[in-house]
A and B are shown apart, each in its own frame.
Chain A
């Protein structure tokens, strides 16, 4: 059973530099070949600062938490029994290679369904530009845990 005391838990925000090579690898992984996602000069020609990060990349930055422990371990969730149930995003600004961003995550809610057979934990996160504090995106992630 997930300890309800984790509701409201905040991880210390961390900063990440968006790297061209990482964006190219992400584009390759999702089969994205359009030049604004792979070619800096093509992206610049269209008015972008550099290679554009695809929308869902914003929350890949959550994996870059420098914490030595996995965030699921931090709240006592065994990764064998966990599934990603839902994901919601609000997109505010485009992020490009070379940007330096700050990422934050907190536990918003923990609840159960089916008489406790399934537990849910909701994480909220946001990505902001470091210099201007401009909001790039927010996310809400629902993880489903099978008990037992």
Chain B
């Protein structure tokens, strides 16, 4: 199934996007706990304001996790071989993000390169990057043998 729909794509195609609910402070607190990133800029609005920001703001890596949620909803996680992201703008509580991806290239050796982006409801870009999808991991073979 996975191979079939990977073969089906061509440059310019989109994969299903992932719409997130408005970002809450509770989510930032949970992410701090789950990720172990306790940097106060993300969970302490007093600290963030004193540092010159309008409020506490989202961990960049939470945005990266949203990107990988989208990608692994499209192909199993074993197929995600690489990810490169740039954190373009800060995201504050209340903003609604959507993760999106289009196929940038399909290589001769069967890899798919996705161009990924995270935007808010006003269309402002928060994160850009690329994800590399490919069936070359040993674990894929092991899973297929089961």
Interface residues of A (CB under 8 A from B): 22, 25-32, 34, 47, 52, 54-57, 59-64, 79-81, 83-94
Contacts and interface: CB of A to CB of B under 8 A. Distances in A.
B6 interface: no
B78 A32 contact: no
A47 B37 contact: no
| Dominant SS among interface residues on chain B | helix
Given A26-B35, A47-B143, A93-B138, A55 B87 contact: no
Contacts of B64: 56, 87
Given A92-B137, A93-B138, A54 B87 contact: no
A109 to B, nearest CB: 16
A30 B58 CA distance: 12
Contacts of B33: 25, 29
Contacts of B69: 30-32, 54
A79 B86 contact: no
Nearest to B30: A29
A85 B72 contact: no
Contacts of A28: 30, 34
Given A47-B146, A84-B61, A85-B86, A55 B34 contact: no
Contact of A56 (B30, B51, B52, B61): B61
A22 B139 contact: no
A29 B77 contact: no
Contact of A55 (B51, B77, B86): B77
B77 A54 contact: yes
B111 interface: no
Contacts of A89: 82-84
Nearest to A61: B36
Given A54-B72, A56-B64, A56-B65, A86 B31 contact: no
Nearest to B143: A47
Contacts of B62: 29-30
A52 to B, nearest CB: 7
B66 interface: yes
Interface string B71-89: 0110001101111111100
B60 interface: yes
- Which of A47, A86, A87 has the largest number of chain B CB atoms within 10 A? A87
Nearest to B53: A80
A83 B48 CA distance: 12
Interface string B101-135: 00000000000000000000000000000000000
B34 A86 contact: no
